[in-house]
Structure 1
Amino acid sequence: MLPTIVSALAVYVSTNIDYLLILMIIFSQNDTRRRIKMIIGGQYLGMGILVAFSLFAAFVLNFIPQDWVIGLLGLIPLSLGIRLALKREDPEDENVLEKMQARGSNPLFWTIALITVASGGDNLGIYIPYFTALTWPETTVALIVFAISIAILCHISYKLSKISLISETIEKYKRPVVSLVFIGLGIYIMVENGTIQTLFSL
């Protein structure tokens, strides 16, 4: 169980560190208790949609008999990590408030959910191969870790939204950290499923 908890925590943190910055920006503009609850609820809904889609895709992929073929999905997080390390800074975080204002007629809850899903396209490339490698008991544990992690992420984001120095530090070092985690996860998935060994033996 402990390895599943650790891996689920690593997967969640590596794919959602960007949300930390996004949520910090949003929390800084919304201080009322009602709005804070809507932000947290929207984050849960958006992540729920991403995870549900990933679980469905992982279930379908389980019908593929060769483990090493499934391991090829490790190329997705590997490529994401390399691409993140090489590409220029994405101004997406700076446009969050503009997105919210553009949908000003919608409840904040749905706005946050839409932003979470729209910003989480790359997450699917991590979640699908990750859930494919898990048994159902392990998947349950991972989902519990995800649920707790969302609450922790929202709490930390709210607290950090009041501290400019910390937010600037996170912004400065997030890219190399996420890149290394994605690359490591991609290699782990391929090794765990025997993909690298199979390719070398061809």
Structure 2
Amino acid sequence: MKWDVAMIKTIITGIVLYASTAIDLLVILMLLFSKYRSTKHKQQIYIGQFLGSYTLIAISLFFALVLHYVPAKWILGFLGLIPIGFGIKYILSDEDEAAEVDEKIEQRKDKNLIATVALITVASCGSDNIGLFVPYFVSLTIEQLITTFIVFTFCIFILVYLGDKFSRVKIVKKLLDKFGNWIMAIIYIGLGMMIILESDTISHLIKILF
């Protein structure tokens, strides 16, 4: 029973975690699908998104593996400050990321679309995704990592599918532009706090200080 509860928690957390990183990607994909409408181009966008996302996951796994050698679990809890920092950044940010991505697409319009999508994904979302994935991956067992990878794969497909469909619905882009940063900020800060609390970082600091 405990295994079932833990696995369900891993699945739900994986979905929420990926969803928090997917808001930026959704805007990017909507821009791409609005410019490239043919079936061939859509297939290339799917492949490019999977390639870019798997690259970020692989990099995050590498750093998580390295950090697994840190002996004290409570020290790893400080990694929770990374997503909290990103959350605060999104609250304070007023950058027009969609415009920046649109410019990148125009610059690479004559290039291979698969490579373009992959590069834009890594360049636009790399630091955020790695900063969020690494602290979470460090806290997982091998079984949980495998489950999370499967969940992420499913989420990537759903994300690209929604990017295609929502590219034809203007109100979705308006809502994401208006509330996207706040949604990401809440999830990022919440995940950071969860990592800190589950690593017993605060209790250890209290013992050390008092």
TM-score (norm 2): 0.93
Q: Percent identity?
A: 39
Alignment counterpart, residue 188 of structure 2, candidates 172, 177, 182: 182
- What corresponds to 1:100 in structure 2? 105
How many aligned residue pairs are there?
201
- What corresponds to 1:39 in structure 2? 45
Gaps of 5+ in 1: none
Q: Distance in 2 between matches of 1:72 and 1:47?
A: 25
Moved over 3 A (4+): none
**AA in 2 matched with 1:184:** G
**1:57 maps to 2:31:** no
1:201, distance to aligned residue in structure 2 (A): 2.0
**AA in 2 matched with 1:92:** E
Q: Distance in 2 between matches of 1:95 and 1:80?
A: 19
**AA in 2 matched with 1:145:** V
1:177, distance to aligned residue in structure 2 (A): 1.0
1:170, distance to aligned residue in structure 2 (A): 2.0
Q: Distance in 1 between matches of 2:100 and 2:67?
A: 35
For residues 114-133 of structure 1, the aligned pairs below 5 Å read 114-120=119-125, 121-133=127-139
**1:109 maps to 2:127:** no
TM-score (norm 1): 0.96
Alignment counterpart, residue 92 of structure 2, candidates 86, 94, 116: 86
Q: Distance in 2 between matches of 1:109 and 1:153?
A: 16
- What corresponds to 2:162 in structure 1? 156
Alignment counterpart, residue 10 of structure 2, candidates 4, 15, 28: 4
**AA in 1 matched with 2:150:** I
| Bigger shift: residues 130-139 or 99-108 | 99-108
Give yes or no for contact 2:83–2:131 (8 Å, CA) kept in 1. yes
Gaps of 5+ in 2: 1-6
